[in-house]
Amino acid sequence: MTNPPYKLASRELHPADTVVKVKDVEIGGNKIVVMAGPCAIESEEVLLEAAKAVKVAGAKVLRASAFKPRSSPYSFQGMGEEGLKLLKKVGEKTGIVTETEVMDTRDVSLVADYVDILRIGARNMQNFNLLKEVGKSGKPVILKNGVSATLDEFLLAAEYLLSEGNKDVILCYRGIRTFEPAIRFPIDAAMIPLIKEKTHLPLIVDPSHSTGIRILVAPVSKAAIAAGADGLIVEVHPCPEKALCDPKQQLLPEQFKKLMFDLSKVAKAVGRSL
By the 8 A CB rule, do 77 and 42 touch? no
Q: Give the up-direction half-sphere exposure of residue 141: CA atoms within 13 A in the CB hemisphere.
A: 32
Domains and CATH numbers, the chain: 20-269 (3.20.20.70)
pLDDT in tens, 17-44: 999 999 999 999 999 999 999 999 999 9
Tell me which DSSP letter residue 198 carries.
Answer: H
pLDDT in tens, 90-143: 999 999 999 999 999 999 999 999 999 999 999 999 999 999 999 999 999 999
* Phi and psi angles of residue 25, each rounded to the nearest 5 degrees, phi first: -105, 130
Predicted structure pTM score: 0.96
Tell me which DSSP letter residue 236 carries.
Answer: B
Candidate from 31-40, 75-84, 115-124, 264-273 with smallest mean pLDDT? 75-84
pLDDT of amino acid 72: 80
Tell me which DSSP letter residue 213 carries.
Answer: -
